[in-house]
Structure 1
Amino acid sequence: MSDPARNVHGVESAERSLGQLVAAATTEMSALVHDEIALAKIQLRQDVKRGAVGGGAFGAAGVVLIFSLPMLSFALAYGIHAWTDWHLSVCFVLSFVANLLVAGLLALIGVVFAKKAKQGKGPQKVAASAKETAAVLGNAKPHPREVQDDTVVVARSSV
């Protein structure tokens, strides 16, 4: 099917020129950079989604507090009054406290999700990975090749 002495581009491995090697390295580096950018975008989207959930929970807490207070307060106050025969003003205060507890719980959920979104390390992980890749490539040295009988040996510098 395929000749093992040939590479992906159909050129024999032993006869690849410097230009072909540079072109192959450039292509691979370009693909690596594109993949790391795509990874950063995905991780940033996840952080934005977490922030949106936190903001939604804060908004829900506000909506619950605003819209439920009148109806829930009246229903709860009259219910407490019917069960206990306490003064009606005490029953209204208790119903208001119950509404505050529900809103506080929703706000607490919003805080938890906002902290998770703020602590997201997605882009920082990608940047660290890119720096690590650059450091490895910067320290790379060419591998020695076996010399054929009719080839002239040329010394390479490792700088």
Structure 2
Amino acid sequence: MATRVQPVHRVSPGERSTPQLVADLSEQLTHLVRTEMRLAQREMRERGKEAGKGAAALGAAGVFALLGGATLVATAVLLLSLVLDAWLAALIVSVALLLVSGVAALVGRSRLRRAAPAVPERTMGEVREDIELVKEAGRR
């Protein structure tokens, strides 16, 4: 969705002087760069909004999962306390939870390291296209 710059003058390029053509090129390139920057900002803003909504939903899910998990932990401690002393049942369940937490932290750190940096991919593609068009026009 790259914005194409309209000709500044109705006079054909053959009738314009070289300094005028260079000035037009400079003006059009400046306009193009500004337009692409606005597009990149808009794209990143849209992604940010979607990420925020997703994070809010995941946060709510996390709170309810934590409450459900805490209830299950209490249930596990109470079940073990039927067979063992209450303090020993609580210790066993706590150690098991800490082991699971450690494994989850290692997996999470590994995945974060593999995550790609967030870049405006569409805009970068369009900028590459624009650069190729300028190069091609310069060869003519």
TM-score, normalization by structure 1: 0.45
Structure having the higher helix fraction is 2
The structure that has the greater radius of gyration is: 1
Q: TM-score, normalised by structure 2?
A: 0.50
